[in-house]
Amino acid sequence: MHSQITQLLAQKNVWMASHITDAEFPTALSKQGLALYNTAQNALTLSPVQASDFDSPSDLLSVYPVDCHPLTIRFSLVHASQWQNEESDAVIEFLTQIMLEAHSPAQLFVGFYQGKPAACGILFTDPDSPKNTLISDICALPLPNHDELVTAMTRWLVQQASDKSENLWLC
């Protein structure tokens, strides 16, 4: 089972990278952003989660699926806030290249706090095994309530994933 879950994370990372590696003319900055993203991903650990491990989602965030480029940009800005200066710019360049398709295995989400984007996350479901979903890329802006935003986003994503998958993995 562990190799299957490790493979799920690898699939998600390949999907993320494909927006640069499959591009006809990727920019040097987007390639740098992909490298930074991959380095961060390699440091992650996976753990199983159950919806019952989390309280019901709080109303701290209003969460929206990323279904248009303006929301992709907001997702990118929140996610890239985990890096500093030029590295943040490179990660933004990488993440804003994401193109979502109707049957994408990934669903990106942005959480708004007091009307502004403040948190983000991804649900990645294995197309060949839809009972397995990876909950990843949970980030929040460096605000005074950062930890609460991360917790609220995690709870919301776990609840969403538990509605469609049996096995949930958090990284």
pLDDT at 1: 55
Q: What is the CATH number of domain 2-170?
A: 3.40.630.30
Position 6 scores a pLDDT of 85
What is the per-residue pLDDT for 26? Answer: 94
**pTM (predicted TM-score):** 0.94
State which amino acid sits at residue 72.
T
- Per-10-residue mean pLDDT, the chain, length 171: 78 96 94 97 90 80 96 98 97 95 93 98 91 96 97 95 92 91
Cβ(121)–Cβ(71) below 8 Å:
no
pLDDT of residue 2: 61
Please name every residue paired with 123 in a beta bridge, in sequence order, or none if there are none: 107, 135
CA 87 – CA 65 distance, rounded (Å): 26
Domain range annotation of the chain: 2-170
Stated length of the chain: 171
Of 85, 73, 100, which is closest to residue 36 (Cα–Cα)? 85
Helix (H, G, I), strand (E, B) or coil at 9: helix
Q: Which residues, including other chains, have CB under 8 Å from residue 7's CB and lie 6 or more apart?
A: none
Query: What is the pLDDT, as a whole number, of residue 54?
Result: 79
Give yes or no for a contact between 84 and 94, defined as CB atoms under 8 angstroms apart: no
pLDDT tens digits for range 119-168: 999 999 988 888 999 999 999 999 999 999 999 999 999 999 998 899 99
Write down the pLDDT at residue 101.
Answer: 85
**71 vs 69: CA distance, rounded Å:** 5
**Alpha-helix runs per DSSP H in the chain:** 2-21, 28-42, 69-80, 85-95, 146-162
- Cα–Cα distances in angstroms (integers) from residue 42 to residues 39, 59, 74, 128, in the given order: 5, 32, 24, 23
